[in-house]
């Protein structure tokens, strides 16, 4: 089995962005975070660091958990009107008391570097994309970079979120794949996923997809990012690599695993993205690319 590692491609994308910035394109990103969720703080920190690497000006707005929908809308409106802000990123999920839909819809579509605004979702659905969600866009870049055939293949997307599943299916359809979307109500999931030459999984369930779900030789893209600390669970999921992962658990308290069981997938799949080291790196790189694109579109 071939590991579809993404570090080299992600670095290349960021270098391309950096070259354009150094060539005179001005770009800036405003990152908005509400509350004290540790994962969200890490994600935003990584995005800010990436901005520093490529030369994109960035600012972070860290708001307290008590922030209301109205207060957040006021900030978004302010960022919309500022000429020195090209991209706006609101880190999801937001606290439950905030109307997430209202926040996304309030954003200027040309500054919506996550590609979640209904205008950007509609453009993607019509086959006329402008700003595309970063994770699906990064997956397409990875498949192209590694020469994975999309046209004419049977592709299955497990998960129907607005962030990954639905836009992923749209991109694959536009590349002439035959696309099936599976979700929690799909009957006999394994029977459906086993027909896929290209299987993309984004459901947030630790190691859920195993050998029985995968067609021999299929390319498997694991979008999941879950923490595991139980010793027996680590051994079950990682097989021969378990000892290395247990060292990580001993050092950090947990290790990362996706929605695919890596040990079982390795027995069947032709290619598999690792977690970490796979899709997550591309998500950040594509955010930089989207921010640059937003800056160029506005100017």
What is the tens place of the pLDDT at every residue in 46-98? 999 999 999 999 999 999 999 999 999 999 999 999 999 999 999 999 999 99
**CATH number at 24-108:** 3.40.50.10860
What is the tens place of the pLDDT at every residue in 51-61? 999 999 999 99
Annotated domain spans of the chain:
24-108, 134-280
**CATH number at 134-280:** 3.40.50.720
| HSE-CB of 11 using CA atoms within 13 angstroms | 5
CA distance 162 to 134: 12
Regions of the chain short of the pLDDT cut 70 = none
Say yes or no: do domains 24-108 and 134-280 share a fold. Answer: yes
pLDDT of residue 82: 97
**Is residue 163 helix, strand or coil?**
coil
Token pair of 209, please?
């997809």
Query: Which residues belong to the active site?
Result: 47, 91, 114
* Full-model pTM: 0.95
| CA 295 from centre of chain | 21
What is the tens place of the pLDDT at every residue in 7-39? 999 999 999 999 999 999 999 999 999 999 888
CA distance 32 to 30: 7
């Amino acid at each position: 089995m071939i590991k579809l590692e993404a570090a080299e491609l992600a670095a290349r994308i960021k270098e391309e962005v950096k070259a354009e910035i150094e060539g005179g394109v001005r770009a800036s990103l405003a990152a908005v975070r509400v509350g004290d969720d540790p994962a969200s703080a890490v994600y935003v920190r990584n995005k800010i660091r990436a901005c520093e690497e490529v030369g994109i000006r960035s600012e972070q707005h860290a708001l307290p958990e008590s922030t209301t929908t109205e207060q957040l809308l006021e900030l978004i409106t302010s960022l919309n009107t500022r000429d020195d802000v090209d991209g706006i990123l609101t880190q999801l999920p937001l606290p439950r008391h905030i109307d997430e839909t209202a926040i996304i819809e309030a954003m200027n579509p040309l500054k919506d570097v996550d590609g979640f605004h209904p205008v950007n979702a509609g453009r993607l659905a019509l086959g006329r994309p402008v700003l595309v969600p970063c994770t699906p866009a990064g997956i397409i870049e990875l498949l192209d970079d590694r020469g994975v055939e999309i046209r004419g293949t049977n592709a299955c997307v497990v998960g129907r979120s607005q962030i990954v599943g639905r836009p992923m299916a749209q991109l694959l359809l536009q590349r002439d794949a035959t696309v099936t979307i599976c979700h929690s109500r799909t009957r006999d999931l394994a029977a459906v996923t086993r027909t896929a030459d290209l299987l993309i999984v984004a459901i947030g369930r630790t190691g859920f997809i195993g050998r029985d779900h995968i067609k021999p030789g299929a390319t498997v893209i694991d979008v999941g990012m879950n923490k595991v600390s139980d010793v027996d669970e680590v051994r079950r999921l990682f097989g021969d690599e378990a000892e290395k992962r247990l060292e990580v658990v001993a050092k950090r308290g947990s290790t990362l695993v996706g929605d695919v069981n890596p040990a079982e997938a390795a027995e069947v799949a032709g290619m598999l993205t690792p977690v970490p080291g796979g899709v997550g790196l591309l998500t950040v790189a594509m955010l930089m690319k989207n921010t640059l694109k937003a800056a160029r579109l506005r100017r």
